[in-house]
Amino acid sequence: MNKTTYLGDKPINRIGLGAMQLAGPGVFGPPRDPEAVRAVLRRAIELGVDHIDTAQYYGPDVVNDLIRDTLHPYPGNLKLGHEGWWPARRGRRCTSMADFLYEKWFAPRRRQSLHAGPLEGDKGSQ
């Protein structure tokens, strides 16, 4: 079996890291042991993980902050995939697609000190 595949035109290892469980209980708030989370992130990179699936929702913002604070400046081969969702439930409405894109796409990237655009194949609106 091949150990790599592609995310768009970018080669990635088949094993990545899903960051959802790095937040606190129920995916909200800080983790019980932030140093253990930082150790997991560093060890994942040491073991060859080159892509992390994350979302602003995790924490919220807590996991993205931990990733940034632990791994920035990012290794050259690291890809961060951000999930987004359309907040149109229970009476909440997004006023425009521009507001949605800023809130769910550009703001988290700026928060993580990322300057590149989206990767083809990034997870889109859910």
Q: What's the one-letter identity of residue 98?
A: A
Phi-psi group of 26: left, alpha or beta (phi > 0 → left; psi -120 to 50 → alpha; rest → beta) = left
List the beta strands (DSSP E) in the chain. 4-7, 10-13, 17-18, 51-55, 79-83
Q: Kindly provide the b/e burial profile for residues 63-93, where b requires at least 16 CB atoms within 10 angstroms of the residue's own CB.
A: bbebbbebbeebeeebbbbbbbeeeeeeeee
Kindly list the catalytic residues. 58
